[in-house]
């Protein structure tokens, strides 16, 4: 391109751009007014650099119109809140589980030789905080639950848990010791199996020792729980105390029952945990020791004569657990000592019956939640990684160690399928072996549990 062409293009560009710059200078010297609030207008900036408002006062009709609209919206919101919102005086959280069970047994007396369906449990939990301490975390909380147990033909509903808890020590810092006290009807702090709630039990039926030694049912009393020397892995917000302890003073007469004697029962538990980081292979390893000292009512009947007395009801046990992934196990030994009356009412004899139980459970976990690719993906609120848990359990109970041939062994082959956070399917096949009165009474159980 020659010099003449370049000069021509420059002159043409100048002629096109000059009028634009003239217009810009004209606009900056005389800015247009901008509409303001209430129909007023904003003029050019004043001396202080802020736009001056050309005020236009609101009329009485404008004010009344705004008030009418506010009242209409308030009435609409109040009607919606009253009709569609459950109201309580304090914050309240609802939760619950429903268990539907299928049983097929070789014992004709159980299901008449056929499989049968039943609702094994319906539980409704109401939990909340009566006083929230934002400074130290010394909260006062409560739990109240109702249950309709299996076999209740008229849909009987009974209280299950009913207790109030108070945090004696501050609970806001993870690296400090915790201490709480609970008053009311609650689980007894004894062992592994007896403390597990209905939705957390690995098997459909509880261990023989927990049921036959009356450790599984709730009781009424006061329980103190605490821990010492906590270890915290901040990267995973993981906290595990080196020592956990529980002390309880209870009636000993079972749930929803007043004390049937003048004595109280004492129960205690101490647990040593592996205080390690979250990624350690020893995470989930614990060793526990338990002791129960109580008394119960005794009776002996001969003909039409009955005598009553009280006797000791003592239990002690140890447990070892390794709950980690993918392999884990629990081992629990319990021994019971119960006084009983024998002979006749004219010459009664008080003796001690010693019993013992052993429960061993081995399980293996696998599924989506153990695959790294699933941990990093986007998730919806109702997304839950599928988990599969095959397991084997050996459950032995001898009701009288001084009497031979009365021991019962149960071998359970099971499978748990967790396909939602609060929902699982359980399959159990129980092989029963009695030393005396051996009979065909193996059973297959299937239970579907869902929660909300």
Strand-strand pairing, 179-186 and 219-233 = antiparallel
Share of residues in the chain with pLDDT > 70 (%): 82
Which ranges of 139-252 does DSSP label H, i.e. alpha helix? 208-212
- What are the extents of the domains in the chain? 90-451
Report the sign of the C-alpha dihedral through residues 255, 256, 257, 258, in that order: positive
Residues 258-313 pLDDT 10s: 888 888 999 999 999 999 999 999 999 999 999 999 999 888 888 888 888 889 99
What is the rounded average pLDDT of the residues 402-422? 89
- pTM for this model (two decimals): 0.79
Question: Residue 380's pLDDT is what?
Answer: 56
pLDDT at 22 over 80: no
Question: How many residues does this entry show for the chain?
Answer: 452
pLDDT at 452 over 90: no
CB of 447 closer than 8 Å to CB of 101:
yes
Strand locations in 274-375 (E): 285-302, 305-322, 327-343, 348-364, 366-367
Q: Quote the Cα angle for 203-209-213, to 5°.
A: 130
Question: Residue 216's pLDDT is what?
Answer: 94
Query: Which residue has tokens 């614990």?
Result: 286
CATH of 90-451, one of 3.40.50.720, 3.10.520.10, 2.160.20.10, 2.40.160.10: 2.40.160.10
One-character DSSP codes across 357-397: EEEEEEEE-EEGGGSHHHHSS---TT----EEEEEEEEEEE
Can you tell me the distance from the alpha carbon of 376 to that of 337, in angstroms, rounded to the nearest whole number? Answer: 53
Phi first, then psi, for residue 304 (nearest 5°) are: -105, 5
Residues 242-258 pLDDT 10s: 999 999 999 999 999 98
Q: What is the mean pLDDT of the chain?
A: 84
Question: Residue 88's pLDDT is what?
Answer: 81
Which among 251, 255, 260 is positioned nearest to 310, based on CA atoms? 260
């Amino acid at each position: 391109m020659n010099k003449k062409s370049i000069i021509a293009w420059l002159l043409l560009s100048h002629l096109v751009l000059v009028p634009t710059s003239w217009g810009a200078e004209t606009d900056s010297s005389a800015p247009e007014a901008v509409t303001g609030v209430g129909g007023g207008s904003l003029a050019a900036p004043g001396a202080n650099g802020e736009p001056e408002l050309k005020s236009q006062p609101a009329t009485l009709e404008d004010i009344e119109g705004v008030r009418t609209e506010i009242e209409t919206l308030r009435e609409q919101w109040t009607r919606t809140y009253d009709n569609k919102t459950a109201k309580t005086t304090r914050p309240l959280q609802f939760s619950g589980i429903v268990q539907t069970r299928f049983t097929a047994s070789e014992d004709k007396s159980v299901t008449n030789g056929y499989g049968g369906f039943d609702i094994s449990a319906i539980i409704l939990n109401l939990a909340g905080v009566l006083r929230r301490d934002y400074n130290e975390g010394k909260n006062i909380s409560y739990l109240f639950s109702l249950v309709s147990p299996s076999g209740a033909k008229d849909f009987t509903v009974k209280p299950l848990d009913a207790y109030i808890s108070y945090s004696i020590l501050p609970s806001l810092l993870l690296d400090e010791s915790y201490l709480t006290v609970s008053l009311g009807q609650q689980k007894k702090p004894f062992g592994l199996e007896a403390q597990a709630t209905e939705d957390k039990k690995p098997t459909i039926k509880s261990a023989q020792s927990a049921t036959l030694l009356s450790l599984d049912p709730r009781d009424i009393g006061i329980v103190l729980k605490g821990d010492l020397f906590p270890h915290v892995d901040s990267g995973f917000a993981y906290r595990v105390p080196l020592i956990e302890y529980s002390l309880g003073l209870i009636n000993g007469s079972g749930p929803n029952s007043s004390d049937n004697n003048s004595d109280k029962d004492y129960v205690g538990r101490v647990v040593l945990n592996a205080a390690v980081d979250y990624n350690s292979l020893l995470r989930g390893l614990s060793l526990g020791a338990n002791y129960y000292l109580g008394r119960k009512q005794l009776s002996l009947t001969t003909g039409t004569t009955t005598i009553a007395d009280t006797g000791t009801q003592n239990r002690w046990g140890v447990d070892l657990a390794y709950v980690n992934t993918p392999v884990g196990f629990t081992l629990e030994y319990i021994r019971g000592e119960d006084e009983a009356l024998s002979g006749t009412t004219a010459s009664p004899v008080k003796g001690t019956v010693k019993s013992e139980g052993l429960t061993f459970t081995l399980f293996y976990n696998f599924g989506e939640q153990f695959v790294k690719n699933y941990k990093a993906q986007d998730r919806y609120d109702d997304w839950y990684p599928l988990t599969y848990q095959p397991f084997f359990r050996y459950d032995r109970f001898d009701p009288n160690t001084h009497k031979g041939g009365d021991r019962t062994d149960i071998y359970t082959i099971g499978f748990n399928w967790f396909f939602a956070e609060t929902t699982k399917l359980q399959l159990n096949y129980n092989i029963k072996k009695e030393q005396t009165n051996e009979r065909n009474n193996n059973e297959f159980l299937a239970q579907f549990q869902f929660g909300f």
